[in-house]
Amino acid sequence: MNTSTTYRNYYRQRTADRWRKIPAEHLDPGAIRPFLAGNWKMNLIPRAGVALAARIFDLCRDIKDVDLGFAPPFTGLSTLAGYIQPDFLRREYGIGRNVFLLAQDTFFESKGAFTGEISADMLAAIGVDRVIVGHSDRRSNLGKYFGFSSSVARRLSPEFLMHTLHHLEQSENPNPQVITTLNHLIDEKNSGMLAGLATFLETELTERAGESDDAIRRKVQAALANGLQVILCCGENLEARNDGETFTLLERQITTSLEGVARHAMPEVIIAYEPIWAIGVGAQSAPLEQISEVHDFIRNLLMDLYGEQVAAQVRILYGGNVKPDNIEAVMQLAGVDGALVGGASLNAADFAKIIRFGLPNVV
């Protein structure tokens, strides 16, 4: 683990089974440019988003050696796209080609009866460059808000099960195992077990219901097919971390999400490791040693899947309470290529300090 030198541009090499950074000038061919992305989540109306971006650009004049990304809500994408035109940014702030517009999500179908969803080709049509896929908010938290868990629990009442059993028995070729199970659950002597099962499932689904790995895989493919780069998020919850299942979970998330992505398409993919337990108000950033360990695991997994050259070039970001006071230490790690920033990206001074890691601050 390298925690002594901060490189803003670098090459990555693997020697003696360890990854390390080699300093480079930002115009060197093949040099890796860190990517600092601000995910605004469900915050800021369009004009406020432009004002925030303008203040950040003002504090980061002439910063050309890192890539910057801004992910406003869907409602702010068109307005921000009109503001961050490269010619304007170059003239006003001395930047431009290193600023990218990000969408917070997409859908895997191109059109149809999918009320409320936004397709990848729609995003590309309004100037979006990259799309976040598989964010922990969507992987893990949807069940808390959308009532799926309560709906499942209600289906474990004797009345609902009897009604279901009646319809199954009158259908053609009913599954005998399902019939047996329903009869067992409906039996009055098993009422306590049924109530306990309903409570258990409601609790579990509230914490776990969210986008599946397969849905995320389809989103990755849809985004790439429409010319969008992908920021693929992965990460474990606290239970998985405590049970020693972090690497197993990450391997499943990444391999499933990248299924069908060819080697030549991998330069269009950025991976963001965001431990769920390190995100949110009151949470603490993951320890540096753990961040380093996980990033090395992900990079070695990419090497197994796509070879060493691809693994060396794919940027892997860290996301989880990234702040001005820890960004430099995080960026000193050999495996980290940037940050996916949440709350701190809503404060111009804080995000500017993150963008300027390793440089003198101007605020």
| Closest residue by Cα to residue 237 from 203, 209, 277 | 277
On whether the CB atoms of residues 295 and 336 are closer than 8 A, the answer is yes
On whether the CB atoms of residues 52 and 346 are closer than 8 A, the answer is yes
And the tokens for 204? 């579990």
And the tokens for 120? 């990848």
Residues 6+ apart with CB under 8 A from 263: 306, 307, 310
On whether the CB atoms of residues 311 and 299 are closer than 8 A, the answer is yes
And the tokens for 199? 């409570």
Strands 10-15 and 18-23, by their bridges, are: antiparallel
Task: Determine the 3-state secondary structure of 19 from DSSP.
Answer: strand
On whether the CB atoms of residues 295 and 335 are closer than 8 A, the answer is yes
What burial class does residue 345 get, using C-beta atoms within 10 Å of its C-beta: 0-12 exposed, 13-18 middle, 19+ buried? buried
In whole angstroms, what is the distance from residue 339 CA to residue 322 CA? 7
| Closest residue by Cα to residue 37 from 327, 317, 326 | 317
In whole angstroms, what is the distance from residue 351 CA to residue 284 CA? 18
340 CB neighbour count, 10 Å cutoff: 28
| Closest residue by Cα to residue 271 from 300, 237, 238 | 300
And the tokens for 59? 């504090």
And the tokens for 4? 């002594």
332 CB neighbour count, 10 Å cutoff: 20
Active-site residue list: 135, 274
| Angle in degrees, 0-180, between the axes of helices 348-355 and 46-59, rounded to the nearest 10 | 50
